[in-house]
Structure 1
Amino acid sequence: MHILVVDIGTGTQDILWFDSTRDPENCLKLVMPSPTLRVAGQIRQATAARQPLLLSGVLMGGGPSAWAAEDHHKAGLPIWATAAAARSFNDDLEAVRRDLGIEVVSADEAAGLARRPDMAHVTLRDFDYPAIAQAFAAFGLTLRPDALAVAVFDHGDAPPAVSDRQFRLDYLAARLQANRRLSTFAFPAAAVPPIMTRLQAVADSAGADPSVPVLVMDTAPAAVLGAWDDPVVRTHPSALIANVGNFHCLAFQYRDGQFVRLFEHHTGLLNQEGLTGWIERLADGSISHQEVFAGHGHGALVLDQTPVALDFVAVTGPRRAMLNGSRLPVYQAVPHGDQMMTGCFGLLRACADHFPNWRDEIVHALDTGQGVSLW
């Protein structure tokens, strides 16, 4: 079977063409600029050309694209956007207008604006299947996937009076209190919770062909789940696993193969000493949600305060070097020989849980040469 697996971050989108007849190391891969970086580049081209800007499409990840839109506004240039596109920057459309100067328009109004010859028109979406298919086609491969699996980071659609950070942590807690398997953060397209609007937008973008199943998942748990495919990590059932992303850092503590607690923070607010301290407190069970949240992180979830010996810390993510040379017993997780595909391998493990007809085939392909799967 073939699954197109795409792990979308802030810096890169990591793409794996999974072929169950090949060893994972021989599956085809691409590491390309993230969608938000591509959109930011298009916006900055419009700014340099002094063009008015129209944004259409669907809700997608922000960061670089939002900063580019802000700079376009500061340059005194107008921006129009459909409601779906505008929510890429803030779920509150009034805040989008106030902070970024974006005028929200209807689909009909956007169609009229797009016909202006001076207008720069940028389409927003996280998952761009045609672009990925074209990239593979350039090397003679025609994609005919049996399924699609895509990961993005989703804060969720918090009510106006609720902190995005608290809303995100409450969501993580609710999922893990119901099911401690990390595939709890993955959903077939038809089962995405309504509050997870970015995941839903990806599911909608990917679901053009109803005959091809679509699975969407949160990036941070996907990376932690993928780290277990490293054979060294597998020998440490009480591992602490940290995914140090460009924007967010999430760490899970296990004991005897069972999840017991986590914390999530903003990577930009951490340095080596700060991250080391949180990891130590996660291991000894003294970490608290209130303390992490007060430091402008998302918070912590503690299901069990019993200390776990801090003798193995598996690290992945694009900013994992933050822990190089720290006092922690750090191991750089490299599942199937490729750190950049960690989230993709986590997505495949989630596919095995959610697509039971394909479970044995996926697990057999991933476990070739590694023994029995524990996770």
Structure 2
Amino acid sequence: MRILCVDIGTGTQDILLYDSQRELENAYQLVLPSPTMRIARAIRRATRERRAVLLTGVTMGGGPCQWAVEDHLRAGLPVYATPEAARTFNDDLEAVAAMGVRVIREDEAMRLDREVVRLELRDFDWAAIRQAFEAFDVPLRPDGIAVAVFDHGAAPPGVSDRKFRFDLLAQRLAERRDLLAFAYRAEEVPPVFTRMRATVETIRRVFDGPVAAMDTAPAAVLGAILDPQVAAWRRCLVVNVGNFHTLAFRLNEGQVEGLFEHHTGFLDGERLDRLLEGLAGGTLRFEEVFEGMGHGAWLWTTAPMAVEGVAVVGPRRGLLRRSRHPVYMAVPGGDMMLAGCFGLLRAFADLYPEFAPKILEAFQGAPRPAPWEVDRE
């Protein structure tokens, strides 16, 4: 049994090919540039060459590719985009047009000059991933696929994207107060998550097996608690310090008692320490985070928690290296960068119980043949 897990972040896309015949630590892994970084580089090449850009495809992650588009426009060069691609920058197409992007129909895009640099937007690139594995003689024929993307949700006009996303997180936890609340079967992804749905639909064009989708930060936190040391704690904080977003959960026996989400670029070690102190102490308020340009905070209880530890994952985890809290740099499966993928794999087991026994056994460290013995079979 093989499950392909792809955690798509701002800086990197982290890929795990779980194989039930191998030890989890021997699973094939890739850490590659994120799709938005690849598109951003292509746009910047077009800027240097003074060429117009056409964006087609579907809604994907913004950030670097949006910044590249803005720089391209400031250079006085045109950017065209079909409606679904344009929603990468804002679900409100009038707001995209206000940026200077020319939103055009698919038939208009086909008639544009051949000199235009044509870029297809998508978060999941099956052909590229398959080629990467097959270059090393690993056929990519998974039995299931799990993918994680960060999705603000399609906020109504005039509503803050930051607050809208945070309200969606809190609403989900009102229904189920554990980290698996943020995982969905492909057909169950809410329509409000336009990026996640676009990613799932992209996968569906090339794969007809079971597909799971999850938000990136909860996936990384779920992966972190699979580290045996973190799993042994009853009361703890778990933090994912991503390249763009930082999300921290307060957990009591695996149940979420509180959380906050912030933009990593607005944090330093001292400020992050203060937020964690408020989360553990039950004093953190929504306004404290939101007014500091974060998404918000939510507490189920204001009772102080005596935490046994603070588990940290994420590419910017160095912000907490000098923390005054009892920080532990978690390494689920022996690899911090794959925390999101391990979380995705655990969520896949929950969503598709027929796959659960082997996956859960792998997390418990059940013996497997050595890789060279598997390859001889």
TM-score in terms of structure 2 length: 0.95
**Contact kept in structure 1, 2:126 and 2:206, CA below 8 Å:** no
The equivalent residue for 1:5 is 5
Q: Deviations over 1:251-288 (max 9, x none)?
A: 00112332211011111111111100000000011111
The equivalent residue for 1:166 is 163
User: Match of 1:239, SS?
Assistant: strand
The equivalent residue for 1:135 is 132
Work out the CA distance in 2 between the residues paired with 1:209 and 1:61: 20
After TM superposition, give the deviation of residue 209 of structure 1 in Å. Answer: 4.3
The equivalent residue for 1:94 is 94
Determine which of 118, 142, 146 is the counterpart of 1:145: 142
**Contact kept in structure 1, 2:179 and 2:256, CA below 8 Å:** no
Determine which of 323, 328, 347 is the counterpart of 2:325: 328
The equivalent residue for 2:15 is 15
Work out the CA distance in 2 between the residues paired with 1:368 and 1:258: 24
Q: Deviations over 1:118-156 (max 9, x none)?
A: 110011110101100000010011111101100000000
| Residue 28 in structure 1 maps to residue 28 in structure 2 | yes
The equivalent residue for 1:106 is 105
Work out the CA distance in 2 between the residues paired with 1:276 and 1:177: 27
| Residue 349 in structure 1 maps to residue 346 in structure 2 | yes
Q: Residue type matched to 2:165 in 1?
A: R
Work out the CA distance in 1 between the residues paired with 2:108 and 2:210: 34
Q: Residue type matched to 1:40 in 2?
A: A
Work out the CA distance in 2 between the residues paired with 1:125 and 1:240: 34
Q: Residue type matched to 1:345 in 2?
A: F
User: Match of 1:198, SS?
Assistant: helix
Work out the CA distance in 2 between the residues paired with 1:23 and 1:127: 26
The equivalent residue for 1:203 is 200
The equivalent residue for 2:304 is 307
Q: CA 1:316–1:140 in structure 2 vs 1: closer, same or farther (change >3 Å)?
A: same
User: Match of 1:145, SS?
Assistant: coil
| Residue 39 in structure 1 maps to residue 36 in structure 2 | no
Equivalent pairs, count: 367
**Contact kept in structure 2, 1:21 and 1:365, CA below 8 Å:** no
**Contact kept in structure 1, 2:152 and 2:162, CA below 8 Å:** yes
**Contact kept in structure 1, 2:313 and 2:336, CA below 8 Å:** yes
**Contact kept in structure 2, 1:23 and 1:366, CA below 8 Å:** no
The equivalent residue for 1:67 is 67
User: Match of 1:253, SS?
Assistant: strand
Work out the CA distance in 2 between the residues paired with 1:350 and 1:5: 11
After TM superposition, give the deviation of residue 201 of structure 1 in Å. Answer: 0.6
Q: Unmatched 5+ residue regions in structure 2? A: 368-377
Identity of aligned residues (%): 55
* Aligned Cα root-mean-square deviation (Å): 1.2
The equivalent residue for 2:256 is 259
User: Match of 2:140, SS?
Assistant: coil
**Contact kept in structure 1, 2:257 and 2:299, CA below 8 Å:** yes
Work out the CA distance in 1 between the residues paired with 2:265 and 2:361: 39
- Post-superposition, which runs of at least 4 consecutive aligned residues in structure 1 deviate over 6 A? none
**Contact kept in structure 1, 2:234 and 2:308, CA below 8 Å:** no
After TM superposition, give the deviation of residue 290 of structure 1 in Å. Answer: 2.3
Determine which of 217, 234, 243 is the counterpart of 1:246: 243
After TM superposition, give the deviation of residue 369 of structure 1 in Å. Answer: 5.1
Q: Deviations over 1:84-133 (max 9, x none)?
A: 1111111121221222x1100111111112xx231100111101011000
Q: Unmatched 5+ residue regions in structure 1? A: 371-375
After TM superposition, give the deviation of residue 76 of structure 1 in Å. Answer: 0.8
Q: Residue type matched to 2:96 in 1?
A: V
**Contact kept in structure 1, 2:269 and 2:322, CA below 8 Å:** no
Q: Deviations over 1:28-82 (max 9, x none)?
A: 0000000000000110111111111100000000111001111111111111100
Work out the CA distance in 2 between the residues paired with 1:325 and 1:294: 25
User: Match of 1:15, SS?
Assistant: strand
Q: Residue type matched to 2:105 in 1?
A: S
